[in-house]
Amino acid sequence: MGIKKVIVAVLFFHFSFSGQAQILPDTLYKDTLYKEVNYADSALRIRNINPYFTLHVDSTLKYAFEINKDQSQYYWYLKNSPVGLKINKDNGVLTFKAEKSYFLSGKLKYDYEYKVNIGIQNLNNPADRIDTSIILLFYSTEIIPSKIKPTVTNTLYIDEGDTISFKLQCDNGSFPIEEITYFSNYQAKSITPVNKCNDDYTWYAPFDFVKDTDKDRQKLLDIYFVGTNKFFTRDTAIIHVYIRENINYPQRVLEFEKLKKDVSDYILLLKSSFRIVDRKLKKTKKTRTGFDLGSAATGLGGTVFSSLPNSDQKTVGKILPSVGVALVPVKEATAPNVSADQNTASLIRNSIKRLEYLIADNTIVGDRDPDILSKTKKLKDELKQLQIQLIDIPIADEKLDSKELDAYFNNPKVNKKYKVRKTTN
């Protein structure tokens, strides 16, 4: 037991006063056995390396690096250093003056990590060297806010059917805007994506955007663009868009052409009805003319036979005028003189002429006729009025031939019957 205590005391004394020795486990021995390893401080190293420097504007940096050897035998140098950063090649003193002019001119940036390579090399032994790096970051105590600046004025006036498009530029300050979002008081989703600076906002104003209940037939659309930086500081730009009511011209043209075709088809039906009524009048007139000629012939024949000497012939002459008189009620019963048919034919003819004049007078003029709504309304109202007025007119159940009906309607003999005749006193 005494020998063991002496050995332990000797080992404790040795380890306590050996400043450059370390005890490491030897894998070749058991856990209870150790061996002594000494490391000589011969490798070149920087004793006070600082990997990260943070400076604010108008501040001064002065930092002296130290090595474990004689600095007079070594040379210090920098690589990728920002403007203004220097190191003394002889003693390793790092200096920098963070002047504000560097940042205003754009030579330096705030909140940007500059990686600077630092090296030291022996003047006599090139292999004896160290290459390392540090991070240099600048910040400003004066916060310059970043702003969103659209490329249009904050108030716009457009019509329905128009498209607005502008770029969202950013005036970046101390901390740039990293994300842009937008919202509006009415749904106005951009056709192009809007997420960051220099994105385009594009929106098409639909034709049904302005409602009948909106004051002055226009609607105000407010679009809010909100930009945020990495610290979630916000800047908001507002665009006021006044949308005026406008017509969907292509759709209105289709409606006008359809209405025009409906009017033309109705004119064709009226011409067919006119032909039916006019032919009926013509047939009645021929029948009545035949009865009138028969009555006149019997009257004249009675006169002739009464003047003859033969008594039988005189008897016939007395009978024939009675026959002529008897033909009159037969004529009225067979072919009554109905003035209503004549009036109906004249009404149909006048309606056809009126509709044809309306079509010719309300034709669309130019690429965008500003009066297309009023012309459409006039045609629609006149068509509806005439359809109500002629609701009892017979419609022919026949195959309609526009050329044949036009030829009949414009026939000079037919037109002659409906011309206004000058009366003389």
Give me the tens of pLDDT residue by residue for the chain, a chain 425 residues long: 444 443 444 334 343 333 333 434 444 444 444 444 444 557 888 888 888 988 888 888 899 988 888 888 899 999 988 888 999 988 889 999 888 888 888 888 888 899 999 999 988 888 888 899 999 998 877 777 899 999 999 999 999 888 999 999 999 887 889 999 999 999 999 999 999 999 999 999 988 888 888 888 899 999 999 999 988 889 999 999 999 988 777 888 888 889 888 888 888 888 888 777 776 765 555 554 554 545 555 555 555 545 556 555 555 555 555 555 444 554 444 444 555 566 677 788 888 888 888 888 888 887 777 788 888 888 888 888 888 888 777 676 666 777 887 787 787 777 776 665 555 55
Quote the pLDDT of residue 329: 57
Q: Determine how many CB atoms are found less than 10 A away from the CB of residue 233.
A: 15
- Are 339 and 320 in contact, with CB atoms under 8 Å apart? no
Alpha-carbon gap, residue 21 to 15, rounded angstroms: 8
Alpha-carbon gap, residue 397 to 273, rounded angstroms: 10
φ, ψ for residue 63 (rounded to 5)?
A: -140, 125
* Angstrom distances, CA of residue 260 to CA of 124, 220, 250, 274: 103, 36, 15, 21
Pairing of strands 113-122, 147-150: unpaired
Alpha-carbon gap, residue 379 to 384, rounded angstroms: 9
Residues 6+ apart with CB under 8 A from 286: none
Alpha-carbon gap, residue 85 to 263, rounded angstroms: 88
Rg (CA), the chain: 56
Give the residue from 193, 220, 190 showing the smallest Cα distance to 203: 190
**Structure token digits, residue 325:** 């008189």
- Are 141 and 57 in contact, with CB atoms under 8 Å apart? yes
CB crowding 376-400: b at 16 or more within 10 Å, else e? beebeebbeebeeebeebeeeeeee
Alpha-carbon gap, residue 128 to 69, rounded angstroms: 11
> In 245-300, where do the E strands start and end?
none
pTM strictly above 0.85: no
Alpha-carbon gap, residue 353 to 269, rounded angstroms: 13
φ, ψ for residue 94 (rounded to 5)?
A: -90, 125
Residue recorded with tokens 């033309």: 264
Quote the pLDDT of residue 365: 83
Partner residues linked to 54 by β-bridges = 137
**Domains contained in the chain, CATH given:** 2-38 (no CATH), 52-139 (2.60.40.10), 147-246 (2.60.40.10), 250-288+332-417 (no CATH)
Residue recorded with tokens 């009464």: 306
Give the 3-state secondary structure of residue 235: strand
Give the residue from 205, 159, 154, 198 showing the smallest Cα distance to 176: 198
Alpha-carbon gap, residue 164 to 205, rounded angstroms: 8
Alpha-carbon gap, residue 158 to 220, rounded angstroms: 10
Residue recorded with tokens 């009865």: 291
